[in-house]
Amino acid sequence: MQVIRAVGREAAAKKYDLLSAMMAHGLAGDKHRQRLILRLMALITTRYNWQRDELTIGQREIARLWCVDERTVKREMAKLRTLGWIEIKQHGARGRVSVLSLNLERILLDTRGEWPNIGPDFVERVGGKPSEPSSNVVPLHRPEPVPAQGLWAEARARLAEEDPALFDAWFAGLIEAELTESCLTLFAPTRFHANYVQTHLLERLHTAVLRCNGRIARVRIIGP
């Protein structure tokens, strides 16, 4: 999967590719997904700074654009943060609006299942080669999958569906060590394994966990 960077000669085409992927993803879902995607696309096309990866707009302005109240804005933006599609780049202070950013790789990953609906040319153009650093690095001793229950079992299922090869190499061997109201601690079979997941794959791991339980604010990886 290619990383979209809306700069250079092909910037306009890359923007359209991202919006096309989001559109196809929305149309393939129910009315709630369609509405959420449409609202995000409205923010992107009206207020998103592609070059700086910044979305700066207040809740009142969003409510006016979406024709809803501010409570609906809070709820919908929370959904987008849980999905991992938008992130807080800079917290607002002293009445200033927070600066948000888009996780373009996460959006492309989540919409990949609907790319064929656009056409094989789109799949070939946007698909490219995997951009995960883990595609070139595998554990020295690949651990056997360890059975799991509860939250971690649900998150594991999501990760396995997203990328089976990545799951087998890095996530399958993680064991739940501790679960509190806001933190999930996972144990890796080796220190190298723990460090690699912590450095390169923690965002994807946390997104999967967050989608299963929105109260989990942190995921820790520990090793022997």
**DSSP label of 10:** T
pLDDT in tens, 126-171: 875 444 444 455 555 555 556 667 899 999 998 998 888 889 889 9
pLDDT in tens, 69-122: 999 999 999 999 988 899 888 887 776 788 999 988 889 889 988 999 999 889
Higher pLDDT, 162 or 222: 222
Stated pTM of the model: 0.68
What is the Cβ-side half-sphere exposure of residue 188, based on CA atoms within 13 angstroms? 22
What is the Cβ-side half-sphere exposure of residue 27, based on CA atoms within 13 angstroms? 11
Q: For residue 222, what pLDDT band results from cuts at 50, 70 and 90? A: very high
| pLDDT, position 35 | 97
Strand partners, 87: 101
- Rounded distance, CA 65 to CA 59, Å? 10
Cα 179 vs. chain centroid, distance in angstroms? Answer: 22
pLDDT in tens, 32-70: 999 999 999 999 999 999 888 899 999 999 999 999 999
Element housing 183 (H / E): strand 183-187
Element housing 99 (H / E): strand 99-102
Q: What is the arithmetic mean of pLDDT over 211-216?
A: 88
**Is the torsion defined by CA of 108, 90, 42, 38 positive or negative?**
positive
Neighbours of 181 (CB within 10 A): 8
